[in-house]
Structure 1
Amino acid sequence: MSATLHSIAGSRSFRVLWLLHELGEPVEVVPYQIMDGSLQQEGFKAISPARRVPALEIDGRVLIESGATVQYLCETRKGHDLMPPVHADERADWLQWLHYAETLGGGIQNLNMQHLFLPKPEMRSLTVMGIETKRLAIALKGVEKALSDGRDYLLPTGFSAADVMMGFTLTSARRYVRFEGFPHLTAYQARLEARPAYSAAQVAEGPQQFYTQDFYELPEG
C-alpha cells in the first residue's frame, strides 16, 4: 500500500517527497493550495492539527513534521545508506545537519511572510526583513564553510538524508540571499538538483506556488 503525502508544491513537503523517491517508496500526492482555504477543511484538520503540510500517511500513522518524517523514514526503511548507524562517528553530525536545515528554514519562513503573504506594504517591517536576511546569510556561511574542505555533501562519506533536508532549504534561501559569494553552496546545490530522485520528485509535486520572482530585494526604507 502506497503512502499518501498531503503537500503544497514548493513547501517543506518537497523534502519528504524527495526522500520517498530516493528510497523507492510509492507515494500518492494530495495537493493543496496555500491561500484557498483547503488547509482549513475538516478532513485535513483531522489529519494535521496545525493545519500545515507536509502530512504523511504511512504505516498506519500520520507524520506532520518534515524533520521527524525524514528521520522516521530512514530508521524504518532498509537497504539504503541515507543515515549513519546509531553508533557511527557521523551519526551526531547527521542529526546536527538534519536540524540545522530548520535553522535556515525558520528565517526563510519569516521572510516569506514579510515578502509574500502580508498583503499591504505598510504591514511589513523593514527592520525584521533586514535582520532575517542577515541571519539567513550568516547561517548559510556555516554550510559554505563545511563544504569548503572539498567534500561533495554534508557528510564526508557521501550523500544522506541530511542533504535532502538542506537541499530544499537552499532552493528557497536563494530567493533572499545572493549566492555569488557562496561558491561551494552553489556547486553543492547543483549536485543535489542533478539527482534523478530530485527531478522525479519535482515532476510529482508540480510547479511551486510561492514565488513570482527569482530574487526578492530588500525594500528601500
Structure 2
Amino acid sequence: MITLHHCPQTRSMRTLWLLNELEIPFQLRSYPFDRSLRSPEFLTLSPAGRVPALEVDGERMFETGAITEYLCERYSPDRLGRSTASPDRMTWLVWLHFAETLSQHVAALTQQHVMLYEDHMRSPIVMKLEAARVGKCFDAIEARLSTPIESRDYLLTSGFSAADISVGQAVYMASHFVRLGGYPALEAWYERITAREGFKAALPNGGGIYSQDFYAPWPLE
C-alpha cells in the first residue's frame, strides 16, 4: 500500500498528480502547512519536516525527485518515466530535476509574500530578484518548447511524461507571482497539461497556502 503525506499547494502536489496519472491505489493523508510538520511523529517520515513523504510497503521516502524516479521506475518506466534504454532518458532526468530549481525561487517568493506577515519583514529587493529568477526559468522552458527546428507539445520529443508533471506543478506555483503572458509556448503547454484530470484532482479542495490567484510585486508601484 502507498500512503502520501501531503499539504495542498506544496511540492507534494507533484507527487499527488503523479499518483493520479499512474492510476494505482494509494491513501492520502493531508496536513495543514503548520507546525504539525515538526511533530516527532512526522519527523520519522521526513527528517526535515517537509512534504511530500511517501510510505510504500512499509518503507519511507522523502524528496520529490527521488519519489518521482522511484514511482516511475516501478510503475511506469516507459509511459511517465523513461527507461535507461530510452533516447529521452537524459532529457527526462534534466527536466525532472529542473522543477526543483524553479521551486526554490517560488519558495522564496512564497515566504516573502505569504509567510512573512509583517511588512517590515519583507524585502522588495528579494522579491524582485526571485521574480527575475523565475522569469529566467520561464525563458528556459519557453526555449525548450519552441526550438527553431520544431515546436513541442511536451518537454520531451517522445511525449507527455513525469517531467511535464514536475515542471508543470512548479509553474503552477510560480504563476502566483510571475504571469505566463509573454511566454506563448509555455502558456500553451501549461494549458494543455493542466487540462488533464490528474492535475485537476491534485488541486486543493479548499485551504492551501495561497489566498490569492496572483501576488503583485510589493510594495505596489
Query: What's the TM-score once normalised by structure 1's chain length?
Result: 0.93
Q: Report how far residue 80 of structure 1 moved.
A: 5.0
Instruction: Report Cα offsets for 1:46-89 as digits up to 9, x if no partner.
Output: 11111111001013211110111000101112575112220322
Q: 1:23 touches 1:80 (CA, 8 Å); kept in 2?
A: no
CA RMSD of aligned residues (A): 1.5
Q: 1:90 touches 1:155 (CA, 8 Å); kept in 2?
A: yes
Q: Which residue of 2 aligns with 1:121?
A: 119
- Matched residue count: 217
SS of match in other structure, 1:179: coil
Give the partner amino acid of 2:187. Answer: T
SS of match in other structure, 2:125: helix
Separation in 2, partners of 1:143, 1:68: 22
SS of match in other structure, 2:181: helix
Q: Which residue of 2 aligns with 1:24?
A: 23
Separation in 1, partners of 2:26, 2:9: 17
Instruction: Report Cα offsets for 1:157-180 as digits up to 9, x if no partner.
Output: 100010110111111111111111
Separation in 2, partners of 1:78, 1:127: 43
Structure 1 unaligned regions, length at least 5: none
Query: What's the TM-score once normalised by structure 2's chain length?
Result: 0.93
Instruction: Report Cα offsets for 1:193-217 as digits up to 9, x if no partner.
Output: 1112222333xx5335111111111
Change (3 A) 1:108 1:22: same
Q: Which residue of 1 aligns with 2:43?
A: 45
Structure 2 unaligned regions, length at least 5: none
Pairs within 5 Å for 1:194-209: 194-202=195-203, 206-209=205-208
Give the partner amino acid of 1:155. Answer: L
Give the partner amino acid of 2:30. Answer: P
User: Pick from 62, 65, 70: which aligns with 1:64?
Assistant: 62
Q: 2:13 touches 2:169 (CA, 8 Å); kept in 1?
A: yes
Q: Which residue of 1 aligns with 2:157?
A: 156
Change (3 A) 1:41 1:117: same
Pairs within 5 Å for 1:184-203: 184-202=185-203
Q: Which residue of 1 aligns with 2:13?
A: 14
